[in-house]
Chains A and B, each alone.
Chain A
C-alpha cells in the first residue's frame, strides 16, 4: 500500500493511503473522540463527534469517515472543533435521561466520558424528551431506547459482523430508533443472543440482563482468559467483583473473535458459582456417596488402584483425560497413566 504524508496538529506523519483521518491520528497517538465508531465496523460518520478541521475544506470533516490524502493538514483540537463537538454532545444529552447514578454503563459509557471531558453539565437545548418503555422481552438483552443516541452501532454490528440484521432504524427524524421488525420481541426475531449489540452500544441503551446490577466498570477487575466452550478460542475478560464472576466481555480486535462472542461465550458463566458445584470429595459407602476428607478420598483412589494393578496388571486400569481441561492437566494425567501406572490406556472424547 502506498503511503501519504500528512500533518496532524502540526505533527508530520506518514500513513498508508487507505487510512482514515481517525486511524492516522490514533497511530500518531492523537486522540479524537468518537461515538458511532467501532473498529469492528465500517466507518459510518453519523454522530459527528469526531469532526476535525482540514485546511482547505469548507466544513469540519468527520475523522472516522474521511480518507487521508497527500499533504493533508489536519487540526483536531481547535476551539471551533471543540465547540462543534460540544454542541453535538449537548444535543444528545437534551434527550437523554440524566440517571448515571443508577445506569449500568456508568463508568464505561462513552457519552458520559464525553460529557465529562467537555464539561457538559446541563444541555443548552431544552425540548421534547422521549419516554420509552424499557424492553426486557427475553432473559439476556434489555433495550432502553431512552438512552439510545441513534449511532447505529447495534444495527450495523448485527448486520455487518453477525450477518443477521435483527435491528434497523424505524420511524423518522426525532423519533428514529433502532428497532426490530414490527416491534417484535427479540425471541420472535432471528436474534442469536450473541450480545454483539450490547458490546458495541456506547451507552446504557443495551444491557446484559444477567450482569445487571452486579458491578460497574470501576468495581470489577477484568481477568483475561480463554472461553471454555467450543474450539474457537475466543478471548474473554471475566469481570470479577468480591471473588465472584459478575460479567464477561471480549477485548475488541483481539483473538479469533476480535471482540465478538456467541451466546455461550458471553452469557454461559452462571455455572461457575452454581450451588450444584461439587465442593467435597465423596466416597461410596454402603451404596451411597458420602462426603469425606481429601486424604480419605485420595487414599481410597490410590489404595484401590494399587490393588487392581497388582492383581491384574497396569492395563486393567484406564484413564479418560479431558478436552475441557488445560494442556498442563492433560499432560499430567497421561504422565500418571504412563509413567506411574504403566499403561497407555488413556484417551478422551476427541472422537465424540
Chain B
C-alpha cells in the first residue's frame, strides 16, 4: 500500500476493486465501513459479485470478469473529457501523459460499457465521484492482479490515481491488499527470483558484490531465476531436479493441479518444511517439521509495510524446530556456516544490507511497536505514506493501456465464467482454519455459488451435488444458489482440498508478473446423469 490502513478513514472517496475486503481482509474492510458510516466517505465498488461491501457502497459497478482496463479507461475518459483531471499534478509530477491520453480518448463510456457491462451513466457517475473527492483512495486485491492482464490492470489504477492527483497524500493512494501475513516481507527479503533483499537487482554487479562481501562468498548468481510457475514447468520437463519448499502448499494453491502433480512427482528430491503433512508434503522425499508462528521470534511485514514483532508464546511440539534452525543446519551441511541465526541477529544483518530496513532493529520495534518501511536510518520515524514529494523513480509514469480480453472466455462448450477466491471463515489452503473446530463447524463444505436463474436452466437445486468441469479438470461440489452471483458467473472458494477449485483454473500467465489467471476460466456444469462417472480431482480434506 502507498498509504497506511489508518489512513483509509481519512478518505472522502474509496474505490474498491477486485477485493472482497470484508471476507479476505476483514479489518481493512472494517476501516472502510467506518469511513463510510462515520465520515460520509463515498464508496465505489467495482466487482462482478454482490459482495458485502456493496451494501455500504454509494455505487456498485457490476462488471464482467476480466474487464477492468475497459472500465477504468472509461472512467478516465470522462475525467479528461469533463476537465476533472488534476492538471497541476500531471504537469509537475508525471510523464507520459500524452500517449496515455491518446489511448483513453478512444474509450468513451459507451464503448467501455459494451466491454465491461456497466452502464455508461454509472461509469460517468463513478468518474465524477472519484475525481471530485478531495482525497480518493484506491483499494485493490487479487481480483485486479490475477489476470493475464494483471499488470495492465494495476497500471490503469496507477493512471487513475495520478490523473486525479491522489498519490502521496493522506487519505488517498494506491492500496493493494496483500493476502498473507508476510507476503510483503517475503518479497522484501528477496524471496523473488530477480532481486536480492530490498529489491536490489541480481543483475546489478554492485548489489551482488555488496551481498557477496557480507555473506563471505566469492560471487553470487547473476542470471534471474525461475518464478514459481516456471519452476513447476521446469520440474515437469526435468530441468529442475530438486525442489525445497518452506511453508507453502502449491498442491492446493497453484493452478491446474493435475499438471502440478506431475511436476512434483518428477523431481528427484522434494523437501517440504511445514507444520502439517499438507497435500504437497505427502508427495515429498523428506519432510521437516517446523515451528508455527506461536513458537518462534521474528517479524512480519503487513500490507501497509508495517514491520511488527512475532513473539514466541509456546514450545514447538515434539522435535519440530524453527525454520531458521532448519535452514542453517542444511546450510552447515552444505559447507556454509550461517553463524548466529537468532531472529534479532538476522534482523541486524538484514538492516545492514537492505536500505528500506536500515533503521529497523528489535530494540526499536520493542519501543515503538512497529515501523513502516522505508526506514533507512536508526533515527528515521518510518514512512506511512509513499511518494509524498516525488515518486521513487522521479516522475510518475503514465502508461497507455489497451483492453485485452482474458485468455479463456466462456463459449458453447464451457459456457460459464469461473472466478475463485476466499471466504471469511477460511484461510488459503485451509491447513490452519480447517483445524480450528469452531470455524470449521461454521463453514465445513465447499460450494459453487450460482445465480438461481442459471440453476433453474440447468435444473440444479440448492444443495445438490454437481460436477464443475474446465478444460483442465473437474471437481464434484455442492451448489449454493444466490442472487449475489450475476448470471453466467460461478464462484468457487479455493480452500477445500476435497474439491479443489484449482483443478479447474487456467495457468495462463501475465507476461510480466507471471501471475496466473485465477479470476477467469471457462467451465461447464454437469448435472444428474451427465455428472456420473466423470473423473474428478479430490485431495485430502484438511491440507
Contact = CB atoms under 8 A, between A and B. Distances in A.
B231 A345 contact: yes
Contacts of A261: 27
B185 interface: yes
B214 to A, nearest CB: 10
Interface residues of A, number: 112
Interface stretch (A14-22, A66-74, A107-115, A278-286): A278-286
A124 interface: no
A232 B28 contact: yes
A102 interface: no
B514 to A, nearest CB: 6
B314 interface: yes
B539 interface: no
A345 B225 contact: yes
Nearest to A235: B308
A230 to B, nearest CB: 5
A330 to B, nearest CB: 4
B433 interface: yes
Contacts of B253: 349, 352
A243 interface: yes
Contacts of B80: none
Interface string B233-259: 011000111111111101001110000
A192 B36 CA distance: 19
A269 B346 contact: no
Interface of A: 138-140, 160-163, 187, 192-194, 209-210, 223-235, 238, 240, 243-245, 254-257, 260-265, 267-274, 276-284, 289, 294, 297-306, 308-309, 312, 314-352
A331 B211 CA distance: 12
Nearest to B229: A351
B182 to A, nearest CB: 6
B270 to A, nearest CB: 9
Given A232-B5, A339-B215, A347-B193, A243 B221 contact: no
B186 A267 contact: no
Contact of A225 (B34, B241, B310, B323): B310
B220 to A, nearest CB: 5
A251 to B, nearest CB: 10
B285 A271 contact: no
Contacts of A338: 190, 196, 202, 211, 220-221
Contact of A163 (B30, B215, B289): B30
Contacts of B217: 339
Contact of A240 (B25, B314, B350): B314
A131 to B, nearest CB: 27
B332 to A, nearest CB: 8
Interface stretch (B63-71, B117-125, B423-431): B423-431
B329 A255 contact: no
A322 B246 contact: yes
B395 to A, nearest CB: 27
Contact of B298 (A270, A282, A326, A347): A326
Contact of B235 (A140, A302, A314, A318): A318
Contacts of A342: 220-221
A263 B439 CA distance: 8
Given A225-B313, A256-B6, A334-B189, A278 B275 contact: yes
Given A256-B27, A278-B275, A341-B334, A268 B439 contact: yes
A263 B226 contact: no
Given A245-B313, A264-B425, A328-B350, A232 B191 contact: no
A247 B226 CA distance: 41
A265 B27 CA distance: 10
Contact of B439 (A267, A273, A299, A336): A267
B274 interface: yes
A320 B298 contact: no
B220 A233 contact: no
B393 interface: no
B284 interface: yes
A233 B277 contact: no
Contacts of B313: 223, 225, 238, 240, 245
A224 B311 CA distance: 7
B442 A282 contact: no
B320 interface: yes
Interface stretch (B91-99, B131-139, B299-307): B299-307
Contacts of B289: 277-281
A244 B315 CA distance: 9
Given A301-B330, A352-B254, A255 B516 contact: no
A279 B228 contact: no
15 contacts: A140-B442, A230-B181, A240-B314, A256-B31, A263-B424, A267-B439, A268-B439, A276-B276, A318-B235, A319-B243, A333-B323, A339-B217, A343-B221, A344-B225, A352-B250
Contacts of B327: 329, 332-333, 336
Contacts of A316: 239-242
Nearest to B298: A326
B431 to A, nearest CB: 7
A233 B244 CA distance: 27
Given A227-B181, A298-B333, A331-B350, A281 B288 contact: yes
Given A228-B181, A306-B334, A328 B346 contact: yes
Given A223-B311, A256-B304, A321-B246, A228 B183 contact: no
A273 B316 CA distance: 9
Contact of A226 (B36, B285, B309, B435): B309
Nearest to B283: A284
A349 B186 CA distance: 9
A268 B433 contact: yes
Contacts of B188: 327
B191 A333 contact: yes
A273 B6 CA distance: 33
A299 to B, nearest CB: 7
Nearest to B178: A231
Given A329-B324, A344-B224, 12 more contacts: A162-B33, A226-B299, A230-B177, A256-B302, A278-B318, A315-B225, A321-B247, A328-B298, A330-B191, A334-B189, A335-B215, A340-B335
